[in-house]
Structure 1
Amino acid sequence: MALQTLARPDARLAGSAPGLGRLVRVELGKSLSTRSGKAVLAATALLAPHWVPVLVLTGGDVSDPPRLLAELGALTALLVLSLGVLSSAGETTHRTALGTYLAVPRRGRVLAAKTLALAQLGAYATATGVVTSAAILAVLGVPVPLGPTAVVAAVATLGGAAFAVTGVGIGAAIAHTPAALTGSYLVLFLTPPLLHGVWPAAVEAVDPRQAVILLATTTPSAGPLVTLLAWVVGPLAVGFLILTRRDIA
C-alpha cells in the first residue's frame, strides 16, 4: 500500500508540476546525459554517412541517389526507435521512475514531454544522416538531384520523429529496456521477410520502414501514411494506458 501511495500522489499536487515546455527540456537533457543515449544518437546520425563512401568506393549501386538516400534514411529512422525506448523504459533501468512521477504526478504529461522531446531527437538524427549522406555523394561525384533529395530528406525526418515516438510508446508499455529493444527489432526485422514468403501483398501494409521509402520515392498515397501512423499511435496509446495504471516502485 505504501508503494501505491507513493506511485499515485494526490492529483491536487499536479498543479505544482512544471510546464510542458520545461518538461520537454528536461527529457531532452535526460536523453543526452546518459552514455547509452549519446551513443545511440551518434550511431544513428553517422550510420548513413558511413555507408555512402563504402558503397561508392567499392562500386556499389548508386545509380538512383534519391532511392539510396530513402533506404538509408528509413534504416536510420528504424534505429532511432531505440532512443525512444531508452527514454521511457530507461526510467526503470536507471531507477529514476519514482522520482520522475513524484515530481510530475500526471504521468500523461511526462509521456507527452517524452514524445515531443524524442520526436525532436529522432528528426534531428535522421535529417543529419540523410543530408550528410547527400553531401558526401555529391563530393564523390555522384549527381544528386536537389528536388527529389529534398523530398527524401523531409520524409526521412518525419520517419525519424515517428519511430522515436513509437519507441517511447513501446518503452512505456514494457518498462524493461532489453526486452523492449529485443522484441521491437525482432518484430520489425523478422516480420516483413516472413510475410513476404507467404503473403507478399501484406508487407507494405505492416512494414513501417517500407512505408517511409514509399512515401519518399513514389507518388504520395494513403497506404504508407496509414501504416506509419498506426506504428506511432498504436504503441503510444498502449504505452499510455499501461503507464497510467502501473504501480511505480
Structure 2
Amino acid sequence: MNAAVDLVRAEWTKLLTTKVGYWLVAVGALMAAGFTALFTAFAGDQGSGPGGPGGPGLPAVGTEAYASLVAGIPAQVVVIAVVLGVIGTTQEYRHRTATPTFLVTPRRGRVVVAKLVAYAVAGLVLAVAAVAATVLVATLYGGARGGAPDWTADAVGTLLRSGLALVVYAVIGVGVGALVRNQVGAVVGALVYLFVVEPIVASVPATADAYRWLPGGALAALTGDGRGTDLLGTWEGGALLLGYGLLAAVLGTVLAVRRDVV
C-alpha cells in the first residue's frame, strides 16, 4: 500500500515540478471561459445557432435552455484532458526516464496504474478549473446581459457530468500515451481523431448511426449535447465513456508491461 502511494506521489511530483501541467489547466480554464463568453454574447440572436444564418438561434440568457447549454461547455475542453494524459505517459519515453523508472519499479503495471490515478486527479483539477470558469463567466456576463443562469439541479448535474468527462478523457490520454509512446504522434493522432475522424463519422449519413458508440457520441449523450444525432441515454453514454477509459487503461498497462523500453 505504501509503495503504491509512493508511486502516485512520485507521479504528482513529476507533474508539479514542470510547467506543462499548469499551462494546460490554465488553457483549459481559458477555453471554457472563452466558449462561455462567446455563447453568451450571441445568446438570443436569431441565426446564431448551429444551423447557421436563418437557422435557430442560441437560447436567450436567463432561460433554462441557456443554462443547460453553458453547463455542457466544460466538456468541450476534453482535448486538453487528453493531451494532459498523453504527455504524462509519453514524457517518460521522450526524456529517456522510462528506463530508470522501470528499474526502480520493475513491476511496470504499478507504474502505469500510478499514472492513471495521478492523472485522473489532474483531470479533476482541470475539471474544477473549467467548471469554475464557466460558472463565473456565465453568471457575470449573463447577468450583465440581463439574465444570469438559474443553476437548477439539472444544470448542476450537467456541469458535474461535464467535469467527469474531463477526468475520463485524462485517463484515456494516459492509455493512448502508453499505447503509442511517441509524444508528437500520440498528441497529433488524438487531435486528428477528435477533430477530424469523429466529426466525419457523425456527419456522413452512412456512418452517422455508428457515432453514438464512439467516445464523442458517448460524451454528447452524457452532457446532453445531441448534435441532431440519435444518441444513447445520459447514463448509458457515461457508462460507455467510462468503458473507453478503462479499456485504454488496461491496454496501456498490458503493452507497457510486455514491450521493451527503447
Query: Normalised by the size of structure 2, how large is the TM-score?
Result: 0.80
* Higher relative helix content: 1
**Unmatched runs of 5 consecutive residues or more in structure 1:** 1-16
Residue 180 of structure 1 pairs with residue 186 of structure 2: yes
1:245 pairs with 2:245: no
CA displacement at 1:118 relative to structure 2: 0.5
Q: Which has the higher contact order (CA 8 A, sep 6+)?
A: 1
1:89 to 1:228, Cα distance in 2 relative to 1, 3 A: same
* Contact 1:31–1:87, Cα closer than 8 Å, also in 2: yes
- State whether residues 98 and 261 of structure 2, in contact with CA within 8 Å, keep that contact through their aligned partners in structure 1: yes
Q: After TM superposition, give the deviation of residue 50 of structure 1 in Å.
A: 2.5
Question: Following the alignment from structure 1 to structure 2, what is the Cα–Cα distance between the partners of residues 216 and 106?
Answer: 37
Letter of the aligned partner of 1:234 in structure 2? Answer: L
Between 70-79 and 129-138, report the one with greater CA deviation.
70-79
**The one of 176, 201, 215 aligned to 2:209:** 201
Measure the CA separation in 2 of the matches of 1:194 and 1:88: 28
RMSD between superposed Cα atoms in Å:
2.3
Q: 2:242 aligned to 204, 220, 229, which one? A: 229
Task: Give the Cα separation in 1 of the matches to 2:234 and 2:34.
Answer: 31
Change (3 A) 1:72 1:221: closer
The one of 28, 33, 41 aligned to 1:57: 41
For residues 261 and 222 of structure 2, what CA distance do their matches in structure 1 show? Answer: 40
Q: How many residues align?
A: 232
Mark the runs of 5 or more structure 2 residues left unpaired by the alignment: 49-57, 226-231
CA drift at 1:237:
1.8
Q: Which residue of 1 aligns with 2:68?
A: 67
Structure 1 position 161 matched with structure 2 position 162: no
1:57 CA drift (Å): 3.3
3-state SS of paired residue (1:143): coil
The counterpart of 1:26, out of the listed 7, 10, 23, is 10
Question: 1:123, 1:159 within 8 Å by CA — same for their partners in 2?
Answer: no
* AA of the residue aligned to 1:244: V
Check conservation: 1:127, 1:156, Cα contact below 8 A: no
Deviation for aligned residue 1:223: 3.4
1:244 counterpart SS class: helix
- Residues 145-175 of structure 1 show CA distances to partners (whole Å, capped at 9, x for unaligned) of 2312221221122111100010101101111
Q: CA deviation at 1:222?
A: 5.0
The corresponding residue for 1:171 is 177
CA distance in 1, matches of 2:150, 2:221: 19
CA distance in structure 2 between the partners assigned to 1:155 and 1:221 by the alignment: 9
Scaled by the length of structure 1, the TM-score of the pair is 0.83
Shift of 1:37: 2.7
Q: Distance in 2 between matches of 1:117 and 1:69?
A: 28
Which residue number in structure 1 is paired with residue 126 of structure 2?
125
What percentage of aligned pairs have identical amino acids? 27
CA distance in 1, matches of 2:256, 2:90: 10
Q: Distance in 1 between matches of 2:257 and 2:234?
A: 35
> Is the CA contact 2:25–2:129 (under 8 Å) kept in the aligned structure 1?
no
AA aligned opposite 2:222: L
